[in-house]
Amino acid sequence: MPSTPQPDQSAPTIVIGAGPHGLAAAALLRRSGVPTVILERSQRVGASWAQRYEHLRLHTTPGTSKLPGLPVPRQAGPWVSRDDYVRYLESYVAHHRLDVRVTTPVQRIERAEPGTGARWLVHTPDGPVPAGAVVVATGRCHTPNLPQWPGRSTFTGTLLHSAHYRSPDPYRGQHVLVVGAGNSGTEIASILAGAGAERVHIAVRTPPNILPRSSARWHAVGRLTDALPLAWRDRTSLLTQQLTVPDLTSRGLPRPRTGLYTRNAREGVNPVLDHGFVDAVRTGRVEPVEAVQAFDGPDVLLADGTRLRPHTVIAATGYRSNLHELVGSLGVLDEAGQPLALGARTHPEAAGLYFAGYTNPLTGVLRQAGIEARAITHAIRRETARAPLPARADTRCSPQQVRTRV
């Protein structure tokens, strides 16, 4: 087991990523007196949110979307828009006086040599930044996952990931195939169908668990029923869907057989909150089809042998955390590339290295940001309290190490 230097108050805590999880952790650390610097690869706070499609709205209510220490403004309404949430994140930085260094990508994290006054070295293009602790908050949705379908390179239409979809305007009059029936895929499909697309198909591998949008408060139900048996919760969720969502089997979308709690536990998948998708399928404006198997020139081949010839394919096929370059040499990832220890827990061989934002709980991702931030702050404070005070503490990063400050 590699030796890990003891924590030293002369090196700040480095948070990687200025999204909700990184900002929440930095805010609570700063409030606890822990010197903290956020390194962000893009040019702004909340960049991954700002780059999403224009009609995006949160699937959680403002009360469960707020970060510690600052409520979401009331004027944002019950379903917060993309732009309003980005503005909220920017105001969060100002409110908590967070030290955010933008356009500072982190290349890799390495263990510091003993006696250097730091546990970790965070490598940036401007040089290494010493850190007493590191919070990796680059998130689950870091890199778009575009499947390597056979014949993909031969497709003569337009193929893009949903991360690069912005609005329905360019697709008016087009035949569009959306691949993936999660929240993004179903929302994009229904918006396209109502905004002038000639025809909209949605490729479905596994029928989704669908709930009415008004039932977003199921996050609270998830918290209240967390201690109950999984089978009981699944049966209840399936019954709820039968009572609130019409049967779309005749339209090509059968009811799910697996409850939403089991799917979340196995796959990290959350239920679809209906933003008009059910009505679009019921009226034939969105047509469910089988999963995509391959591409063949202008055609898309489906699992049942059907061929479609869409102008555009939008792949709402999820994201990868893409942590290998950052921490792959440290032995802290599992075979799927996910952190072996999350939140306040650390890997036995990587004390002082924390990961925030790599789960998708039914109780709400943004609510989880505050939970993990509190736990990580307590853990770092405990370690700092045990560490000997340095003769002279200098918590600043040198200008050569990081460049721009918000």
Tell whether 391 is covered by a domain. no
State which residues form the domain around 26.
13-142+321-386
Which of 318, 348, 371 terminates a domain? The answer is 318
Question: What mean pLDDT do residues 375-385 have?
Answer: 91
User: Number of folded domains in the chain?
Assistant: 2
Residues 378 and 325 in one domain: yes
Please indicate, yes or no, if residue 403 is contained in any of the structural domains. no
Q: How far is CA 195 from CA 149, 184, 272, 283, in A?
A: 29, 16, 21, 15
Degrees (nearest 5) of the Cα angle 309, 182, 192? 50
Tell me the average pLDDT across 75-100.
Answer: 96
Element (H, E) at 361: none
Specify if 327 maps to a domain: yes
Q: Are residues 50 and 102 in the same domain?
A: yes
Identify the band that residue 5 occupies on the pLDDT scale cut at 50, 70 and 90. very low
Q: Does one domain contain both 201 and 289?
A: yes
**Residue 90 is assigned to a structural domain of this protein:** yes
Q: Does residue 325 form part of some domain?
A: yes
Which residues neighbour 242 within 8 Å (Cβ) at sequence distance 6 or greater? 255
| 178/138 same-domain check | no
Reported pTM: 0.88
Is the pLDDT at 390 greater than 90? The verdict is no
CB atoms within 10 A of CB 129: 26
Structural domain contains residue 210: yes
Are residues 118 and 350 in contact, defined by beta-carbon separation less than 8 angstroms?
A: no
CA-CA distance, 147 to 144, in Å (whole number)?
10
Q: Say whether both 119 and 206 belong to one domain.
A: no
| Mean pLDDT score across all residues of the chain | 90
Residues 156 and 284 in one domain: yes
Would the pLDDT of 123 be above 60?
A: yes
At 145-198, the pLDDT tens digits run: 999 999 999 999 999 999 999 999 999 999 999 999 999 999 999 999 999 999
Q: Which conformational region is residue 180 in: left (phi greater than 0), alpha (psi within -120 to 50 degrees), or beta?
A: left
| The pLDDT of residue 3 is above 50 | no
Mark whether 181 and 65 lie in a shared domain. Answer: no
Do both 312 and 338 map to the same domain?
no
Q: Is 4 within the bounds of a domain?
A: no
**Which residues fall within 8 angstroms of residue 78, CB to CB, at 6 or more apart?**
61, 62
Tens digit of pLDDT for each residue in 18-29? 999 999 999 999
Whole-angstrom Cα Rg for the chain:
23
Residue 322's identity, in one-letter code, is: N
**360 Cβ contact partners less than 8 Å away, ≥ 6 residues apart:** 140, 264, 268, 269, 270
Q: Is residue 401 part of a domain?
A: no
- Same domain? 221 vs 331: no
Say if residue 200 is in the same domain as residue 285. Answer: yes
303 and 157 both lie in a single domain = yes
- The pLDDT assigned to 221 comes to 58
CATH number, residue 158: 3.50.50.60
Read off the pLDDT of residues 229-284 as tens digits, 9 standing for 90 and up. 888 888 988 998 999 999 999 999 999 999 999 999 899 899 999 989 999 999 99
* Closest to 207 in 3D by CA, of 177, 185, 229, 240: 185
Q: Which of 318, 349, 368 is the last residue of a domain?
A: 318
pLDDT in tens, 321-377: 999 999 999 999 999 999 999 999 999 999 999 999 999 998 889 999 999 999 999
Residues 96 and 150 in one domain: no
